[in-house]
Amino acid sequence: MHNDNLLKTYNRLDITFKKGKGTKLWDEKGNEYLDFVSGVAVNCLGHCHPIILDALKKQSEDLIHISNLYYNKPQNDLAKKLCSIGDMKKVFFCNSGTESIETALKIARKYGTTIHESKKEIIYMNNSFHGRSMGALSVTGQPKYQNNFTPLVGGMHQAEINNINSIKNIINSNTCAVIIEPIQGEGGIISCSNKFLKELKTLCTKYNALLIFDEVQCGAGRLGSFFAYKQFDIVPDIVCMAKGLGGGFPIGATLTNEKVGKCISPGDHGSTFGGNPLACAVSLAIIKELLDKDIIKEIPFKEKYLKSKFKALKDKYPCLLDISGKGLLIGIKFKDPKTIIKKCFNKKLLLVGAGENVIRLLPPLNVSYKEIDHAINILKEVLEEI
């Protein structure tokens, strides 16, 4: 359904979805699709999960929005819950991943200037993606997103992922932070090594620079722990979250440790809608469902199952070049991913690309093994055809 009223910021497929339930979507004609995109890692419990619907109904009947001039219980409860299951002590709520990144960049610069007025520089990685606002874009290491919007925010310096020497060459006393995705999502499912991240943490400590983890795509349980950093045996100073944190309802969060949180004062930052009761009630319900039902604990087994299936396909089909990722953030590298995505779409399986030649698999975290098999069988049919 083409719509000339929409600003052309996306190359949308010519399909309009009307209904969703779990991993399934139905278009206006009643055709059923298996959704392994999940709103790009957003629908962590699938479409229209009863837990989300119940939270929306109950909270909307009590209180939807009051602004941050006052406290509200869902926000208080969500902040306490997030801090209790990790190592962070302070939370700022916003509405999206990009906003959570903007918050982290501002916090980093405020922290730096409390030490010295020149401590404002931020290091980011090549091939990274942190969002499309001017601040987030300035630490996104892909020229194709940046070129039309220069000049960008100054004081940003690019290093190379998994190359500690590239960071040693540019980090100095004026560096206030290093921002990194532990697994680059949009960039092509490229994982940081544990060794690299540990050396990076040591460097940040040496120069009193903050380590910022962008967990917008890889967090909220997707890697097999609620916080992605738990998979890499280090603790960052700031964690940015969104996507799965709201399961489809807009919410973002920037979490900091005690040291960093102390540098922020009233007026330094804000968000009209951030932390509203409705968003926080939904997020809290999702977190409880993920943890209480052991959905996250099952993810390593689903990862192993998926990778074993892909390894079997790789051994048989030479066009499948590589398998990467962790948990339910899996990348499969193909010679011609666009053709495969299109053919899978024609067979009612939704997939999304990443980087130059990678297909992302982002099913809901509660996806069943039967649904995994269904997706694999469709992909196998496509590979047989090509």
Strand partners, 354: 358
382 annotated among ligand-binding-site residues = no
State yes or no: 97 annotated in a binding site: yes
How far does CA 10 lie from the centroid of its chain? 19
Query: Is residue 360 part of an annotated ligand binding site?
Result: no
Say if CB 275 and CB 95 are below 8 A apart.
no
What single letter denotes the amino acid at residue 52?
I
- 213 is annotated as contributing to ligand binding: no
Burial 168-186 (b: 16+ CB within 10 A, else e): eeebeebbbbbbbbbbbbb
Coil, strand, or helix at residue 173?
Answer: coil
Distance (Å, rounded) from C-alpha 229 to C-alpha 120?
Answer: 25
129 annotated as belonging to a binding site for a ligand: yes
* 19 to 32, 218, 308, 363: CA distances (angstroms): 10, 26, 32, 17
Distance CA 347, CA 60 (A): 38
Q: How far apart are CA 182 and CA 202, in angstroms?
A: 16
Known binder of ligand: residue 158?
no
Task: Give me the amino acid identity at 209.
Answer: A
Single-letter amino acid code for the residue at 190: I
Tell me the C-alpha distance between 383 and 386, whole Å.
Answer: 5
Residues 317 and 381: beta-carbon distance below 8 Å: no
Binding site as annotated, residues for pyridoxal 5'-phosphate: 97-98, 129, 214-217, 272
Q: Which residues are annotated as a binding site?
A: 97-98, 129, 132, 214-217, 271-272
Name the binding residues for N(2)-acetyl-L-ornithine. 132, 271
